[in-house]
Amino acid sequence: MRDTIFRLISAILQKTAGLLLFAMFITITIQIGARNFLHTSVSWSEEISRMLLIWMTFLGAPAVLYKGEHLMVDLIYAGVSSRARKYINILANIVIIAFCIFGLKLGYGLCTNRIILRSVTAAASIPRVYIFSALPVGSILMMIFAFNSLYSNVLVLTGKAEDKDTILIVDETRTLDEIEGADD
């Protein structure tokens, strides 16, 4: 049940981030078209595309964490047992949670700052608080997903759940021909 809920939330976040990426693409295309063909500048497009990028990043990061597709240096990770990987994941999730607490505190401070609450962007006149609110929202979502991953890893280590993770680690010592030959 818990995994189903997180899978659904992750799918929603992925689709939302995808829509924001598409909107950013359209905004930048409008700017390029106006500059090259109409010889004019669309002043609001840079601000809108920046805001879309910020929100896309903060909404996409929890989904990436859930799928285990975040960047990592797999030099040590590839050479350890599945059990040791769980300990590494627990440590990584604790660091992520600590970082998210910091981000949440900082984001809350920014979103409640009187100057930011009254200010708007120069060209698009968007209240800046809408841009800065991506930090606390993203931090909360990321923290929830990190707690879920932490809980899942602890359950596996204590033997209360079976390990369902299939970590794909690239073995750079093998050539493509060797990999394809092993599948036959």
Distance CA 13, CA 21 (A): 12
- pLDDT for 17 equals 97
Is the pLDDT at 169 greater than 90? The verdict is: no
Handedness of CA 154, 159, 165, 169 (dihedral sign): positive
Average pLDDT over residues 42-64: 95
Helix segments in 42-175, DSSP class H: 44-67, 74-77, 82-111, 114-118, 128-132, 134-157
Confidence of residue 162 (pLDDT cuts 50, 70, 90): confident
